[in-house]
Structure 1
Amino acid sequence: MFHPMAWSSGRRGQSSVEVMIALALFVLLTMAAFTLFGTALSQDALSRQRQAAQNLAQEGQEAARQIRNTDWDALAVGTHGLVLNGNVWSFSGSEDVQDGIYHRSVVVIAVGDDAREVVVTVQWTSAGGGNAVASATSRLTHWQGLPLPLASNCRSTFSATGDWSNPVVLGSADIGSGNQGTDIAVKLPYAFVSGVAASASKPDLFVFDVSNPAAPTLVTSVDIGSGGINSLSLSGNTLYAASPNDGKELIVFDVTTPTSTASIGSVNMSGSANALSVLASDGWVAVGRAEGSSSEIVIYSVSNPASPVVEASYGISGDINDFAVSATNLYAVSESASQDITTIDMTDPANPSLVGSFDLHDGLADISIAFQDPNTIFTGNVDGKIIVLDSTNPTDMTIVDEYNTQGNVNDILCVVNNLIFAGTTNSNKEFQILNISDLLNITEYASLNFPQMATGVDFADNNIYVSVRSNDALRILTSTP
């Protein structure tokens, strides 16, 4: 029999249980939400702490670099803290503490007489209560004490360190709309970039402060008039430029104070052929010109840089696109079908002597060259090939091997540690690094894709400086630690 009161009592009991279950679920869900929220806040705090610590580690590297630039001896071996007075960093104590929790130390380790490894370590107690560490490592060289390497040549005194199989872009800089980078020369802490532009009113030489490679700063620029500049070469405090300008194919700049770079002289070479290449060394300068002039190679004495004096000249049937130099010889590459490599004895710079020419028998224009002690030459051509030669006999060189970069080889630079850095027109690999540890089996080590072709390459302080044929003309690269 149905009893309404009994049903009502049972229903009330069931409702009470449901309410209790609902409340329990609500409490559990609320606790889970608070736990997730708390975890998210904790993770966010940890992330912010890690980023702050990494920033402090990078700041420590920049401080060490500034100390090196100011006084090499101040970059003393040992463990240091940092102190900032105005805009000047210095070492103080064995660590510094930032924001009350970050303990930063800079460890400087000697690597030979002219290099230091710098390890910046930041330690702190994390928001989660555990110990945490961030660090950054670099290698700094005493660039003021090292000989300035020649343009378009191998750096026999400079060593590339770190992992160059994974290069990274540190920074870049713009030379303005309508300009295109053509070459680069580095004298730390400055980089000189040349350019050409459609308008004669635009600058042609750009000077960047690269003391912070991640943020190059334009400090001055120079307008040479029409034509622009094709090539650069540094010798001491003098910068030489090869130009298409018909009134001053060779231009000389005083760069004693790079921020006040100024032209101190020029040469109006005979005829109207453009100057394409230049190399300066030990009181003399060689200029290469386009075919059609009476002499495609002209050598000047620059004992007085403001007034170059012709020492010798040579007619070659082709554009002279690049130079390299050994202890005794000057090497020039051309677009000649039969005089690919011309050798000139520079033992007595006042009396240069033509040794002869070598024919590669490939019928291709050669556009770049580099020399590596004791007798290896690398040439790059318009067919994308880097050709390795034994130059023991300059008039009868031996081809050792070749490597195809799949693009015009605009510039070649090699350093110890068996690496070549090449600027090319390969649309996917404008910058290429090659392993030359085995000259009979050259292999690609790494590459980078730029928006335009790479035109010039230079090396200093384990950084690669590249000029690019676009207004975004300066790229600074380095290895990973």
Structure 2
Amino acid sequence: MRAEFPGNSSAGFSTLEIMIALAVVVLSVSAVILVSFGSQFMGVDAQTNDEAIYKAEAKLEQVRALSRSSFASVRSDGPVPDGMYSLSTEVTDISPCAKYATVRVNWQNDIRPLETALHTKLTSPADAHALAGDCAAEPPADGWTAPTTLGSADLTPSGSQATDLDVVGEYAYVTGVHANAASADFFVFDLDDPADPQLVGSLNTGKGLNAVDVAGSYAFVAHNATNTQLQVIDISNPAAPALISSASRTLPGVGASFPEGQSIYYYDNHVFIGTYETAGNEFHAYDVTDATNPQHLGSYSVNHNVHDIVVRGPYAYLALSSTSDSAGELLILNVNNPLSITEVGSYNPPGTHCYATALYALGTRLYVGMGKMYSQCDGALPDLYILDISLPFLPTFLGSADLGLGNNNFVSGMVVSGNLAFLSVSQPMAGFQVWDVSDAASPQNISILGYPEKTVGLDYQDNYIYTANESNFALRVIYDNP
């Protein structure tokens, strides 16, 4: 017989079941509502994402269009508000004819900040042509925290001292001087194996060479002589470089005191050559559209040694031996019409009494390396200055760095790519230096490679550094070996 419990009936069970059913319905409806609101949020996010991508694509196309019309005008800007969005452009200069551009679109939803970014590489065929292709297409691949010598080579005969170099393609073209004027002073090295450069050709041009710039099948060189200061060498056959005697030019109007060629720069079918301080004009411009028949266009008196030359567009930047408080170590000339060269600006680092010895222009910055060869030069002042040349005729100070140069030493070469500045200095045991210049106001040293030789020139190509050095190891190949 089954026991009966009072107060427990089937009606009670029905009420409980109804309450449970109602709870399930409420939970189900709540879940539907949450899913609905979640879908709405996802829909809004998708819509804003699409709109942000559209804005980034439109901005990136504007940057591309600007690069085609005015490559130098492509610069970092922003952030600029655009409704709920903020747009900015970050530009990294790789070389004078290549840049990386990143467009960022930022916005905030109800939960978190969001961003979309698009990247592109920009190139300038016009600038590449003007520089005869002498500009890197990619930035340094490594951090260059541990530079190491990969290979080296000497000049032949012994006793030759390197003065400069230019690396183009698979060859390094090195200039030099020798006590014996009958010895070779122009050398060609095959770099097919950077660890083992091979001397494949050489040439004697006369009294030695102080500088070189290669364009196509020709090497334009600054002759260390009181005549034929401009010489042209045919390098179409690297194993047999040939001096084009009919193309040699004696600079017109220079005096008898130290008119030797010292610096040279090729730009857009023109060659610009500088001399030591002389009684005549120290800066000269030639049309080399026909490299075998250079045509003198004009000249300008600077009353100082012209240690280095860089040309961008219509402006030539000259590194001078000026030590006066009233005259700049950096001189800026308008060479748009070489028949009538005019001075448009200058820069005089305060109180230096030092020489400017090396230049490199990249984007809106000009890097100026100094030399401490003058007795009144203040050794405590910086050896590297970074200037803003957004207005090319009005350079303004951005930052500086002390490279640790002692008396009678100087910056002999510079190449800047991306955020790295590669420098060669004449001071033994500090010949090659790498600096982070991402913050121009505060450059930071990354590494130094020391060796006994005096470094007199530098070039960069395909993540290798090439230096020209006096005495042994005239050509040194350096790579990053972290």
* TM-score normalized with structure 2 length: 0.65
Shift of 1:460: 1.1
How far, CA to CA, are the matches of 2:216 and 2:134 in structure 1?
18
Q: CA deviation at 1:307?
A: 2.0
Superposition deviation, residue 246 in structure 1: 2.0
Q: Secondary structure at the match of 1:370?
A: strand
Range with greater deviation from structure 2 (429-438 or 355-364) = 355-364
Q: How far apart are the structure 1 equivalents of 2:129 and 2:432?
A: 23
The alignment partner of 2:248 has SS state of strand
TM-score normalized with structure 1 length: 0.65
Contact 1:161 1:462 in 2 (8 A): yes
2:230 paired residue number? 250
Superposed CA deviations along residues 347-377 of structure 1, whole A, max 9, x for unmatched, are: 4556644323333342211111111112434
* Aligned residue identity for 2:400: E
Moved more, 379-388 or 298-307: 379-388
Aligned residue among 355, 358, 383 for 1:365: 355
The CA deviation at 1:293 is 3.4
Change in 2 beyond 3 A, CA 1:355/1:154: farther
Q: Find the counterpart in structure 1 of residue 292 from structure 2.
A: 306
Distance 1:475 1:233 in 2: 18
Partner Cα separation in structure 1 for residue 419 and residue 314 of structure 2: 23
CA contact (8 A) 1:387 1:401 kept: yes
* 1:87-110 deviation per Cα after TM superposition (whole angstroms, max 9, x unaligned): xxxxxxxxxxxxxxxxxxxxxxxx
The corresponding residue for 1:387 is: 385
Cα distance in 1, alignment partners of residues 402 and 211 from structure 2: 24
Matching residue within 312, 315, 319 for 1:326: 312
Relative to structure 1, the CA distance from residue 157 to residue 378 in structure 2 (aligned partners, 3 Å threshold; closer, same or farther) is farther
- The answer to whether 1:196 aligns with 2:182 is no
Matched, 1:374 2:354: no
Q: CA offsets per residue over residues 240-259 of structure 1, 9 Å max, x none? A: 11121223211111122222
C-alpha spacing 1:150/1:457, structure 2 compared with 1 (3 Å): farther
Q: 1:190 deviation in Å? A: 0.7
2:283 corresponds to 1:297 = yes
Name the CA shift for 1:412/1:438 in 2 (closer, same or farther; >3 Å).
farther
Could you tell me which residue of structure 1 aligns to residue 249 of structure 2? 267
SS in 2 for 1:267: coil
Q: Distance in 2 between matches of 1:416 and 1:457?
A: 13
Matched, 1:173 2:153: yes
Q: Which residue of 2 aligns with 1:46?
A: none
User: Which residue matches 1:111?
Assistant: none
Distance 1:158 1:296 in 2: 36
Q: 2:215 pairs with 235, 241, 244, which one?
A: 235
How is 1:29-428 mapped onto 2 (pairs within 5 angstroms)? Answer: 147=128, 150=131, 155=135, 157-176=137-156, 177-226=158-207, 228-264=208-244, 265-269=247-251, 270-272=254-256, 273-336=259-322, 337=324, 338-348=327-337, 352-361=341-350, 362-382=352-372, 385-407=383-405, 408-428=409-429
Change (3 A) 1:287 1:455: same
Higher relative strand content? 1
* 3-state SS in 1 of match to 2:239: helix
Q: Deviations over 1:98-144 (max 9, x none)?
A: xxxxxxxxxxxxxxxx9xxxxxxxxxxxxxxxxxxxxxxxxxxxxxx
Q: Deviations over 1:443-469 (max 9, x none)?
A: 111111122111100111111110001
Alignment deviations for residues 164-223 of structure 1 (CA, whole Å, 9 cap, x no partner)? 111121110000311111101011211011111111121101100111011111111111
In structure 2, distance between residues paired with 1:351 and 1:235:
25
Alpha-carbon separation, structure 2, partners of 1:230 and 1:348: 27
Deviations 1:392-438 (A, max 9, x none): 34444212211111223333333333111111123321111111111
Letter in 1 for 2:249: V
Corresponding residue SS for 2:304: coil
What secondary structure is seen at the aligned counterpart in 2 of 1:354?
A: strand
**Paired residue secondary structure (1:213):** coil
Letter in 2 for 1:245: A
Check conservation: 2:333, 2:344, Cα contact below 8 A: yes
The verdict on how the C-alpha distance between 1:187 and 1:450 changes in structure 2, with shifts beyond 3 A counting, is same
Taking the aligned partners of 1:158 and 1:249, their CA distance within structure 2 comes to 35
CA distance in 2, matches of 1:472, 1:215: 12
What's the % identity of the aligned pairs? 27
Runs of 5+ consecutive residues of structure 1 not aligned to the other structure: 1-113, 115-145
Query: Cα RMSD (Å) of the superposition?
Result: 2.4
Could you tell me how far apart the structure 2 residues matched to 1:331 and 1:315 are? 14
Aligned pair count reads 335
Contact 2:166 2:174 in 1 (8 A): yes
Contact 1:317 1:339 in 2 (8 A): no
CA contact (8 A) 1:456 1:468 kept: yes
Task: Give deviations 1:142-162, integer Å, cap 9, x for gaps.
Answer: xxxx948959x9956441112
Distance 1:260 1:148, change over 3 A: farther
